[in-house]
Amino acid sequence: MRRTVGALLRKELLVELRTLESVPGMSLFAVTTFVVFHFALNRNSVDGDLASGILWVTLLFAAILGINRLFVADAEEGGFDGFLLAPVDRSAMLVAKVLTLLAYLVVLEIVAVPAFALLLLGPSLAGAMPGLLVTLALGDLGVAVIGTLVAALAVQTRARDLLGPLLALPLLVPIVIGGARATSPLLALSHPTGAPARWLLTLGLYDLVFGLIAYALFDFLLED
């Protein structure tokens, strides 16, 4: 399994490095959205609930771009069939795609979070970083698992560009709620505190439940 996941992950990253079809688009989208918020809100800075909401909604929509592209190369170039013909555990593809999407999200956040701090955020990020990193990691894991599941389903339909976001958004709403609630106290202007444990726990539980659902369903999604 590890060897197969390694081979798939290496292939995914090579294809993305050659085409630059997902990560640059996701990052550019996030930065542009922050600029739009900057002017639309007509405020120099935001904090607390508003800051947290803007950050998570922007990351969510940027992630949708990556989710929509996740299986496109496999579907268009017959890579799906190539994989299905190999005598390997099909769950390897789930793990590899989740890791790929996680990698995309990490790069996205390396670009988007500093841009957010620069363009919109009032309070300094320095003290919030440990809590923010934990919250983002839990949120990313959920987005990656649900995104992979939805992308695998959508790519087999003709309306995949429409179906992907339509299926993903409702399933990702709890992650945005949990992420935003956990991040809000970290970005408060006065008396910032740590991320509330119950929201981190909610995110962790959501990740676990969807991890198990994805593991149980993924083989069926690949089947004819």
Partner 1 sequence: MAALEVEGLARHYGEREALSDVSLSLEAARTLVVFGPNGAGKTTLLRVLATLLRPHAGAVRVLGSSLPDDAWAVRGRIGLLAHEPLLYRELTARENLRFHARLHDVAEERVEEVLEAVAISARASEPLRNLSRGMVQRVAVARAVLHDPELLLLDEPYANLDPAAIELVEPLIGAASGRTRVVCSHDPGGGLAEADLVLGLRAGRTVLLRDAAAVQPGEIAELYR
- Rounded Cα distance, 200 and 181, in Å: 9
What is the size of the binding site for partner 1 (CB under 8 A)? 24
Which of 211, 209, 183 lies closest to 109, judged by CA?
183
- Rounded Cα distance, 125 and 113, in Å: 9
Q: Which is nearer to partner 1, 72 or 205 (CB)?
A: 72
Q: Which is nearer to partner 1, 193 or 220 (CB)?
A: 220
19 binds partner 1 (CB under 8 A): yes
Decide: 139 and 174 in contact? Cβ < 8 Å.
no
83 binds partner 1 (CB under 8 A): yes
Of 1, 6, 133, 161, the residue at the interface with partner 1 (CB under 8 A) is 6
79 binds partner 1 (CB under 8 A): yes
Of 35, 86, 110, 166, the residue at the interface with partner 1 (CB under 8 A) is 86
223 binds partner 1 (CB under 8 A): yes
85 binds partner 1 (CB under 8 A): yes
Q: How far is the CB of 168 from partner 1 (least distance, A)?
A: 25
Of 39, 126, 158, 224, the residue at the interface with partner 1 (CB under 8 A) is 224
Decide: 200 and 137 in contact? Cβ < 8 Å.
no
Q: How far is the CB of 74 from partner 1 (least distance, A)?
A: 8
Residue 67's Cβ-side half-sphere holds a number of Cα atoms within 13 Å equal to 31
Helix residue ranges per DSSP H, the chain = 2-19, 23-40, 48-69, 72-77, 79-84, 91-119, 129-154, 160-183, 197-222
Q: Which is nearer to partner 1, 93 or 176 (CB)?
A: 93
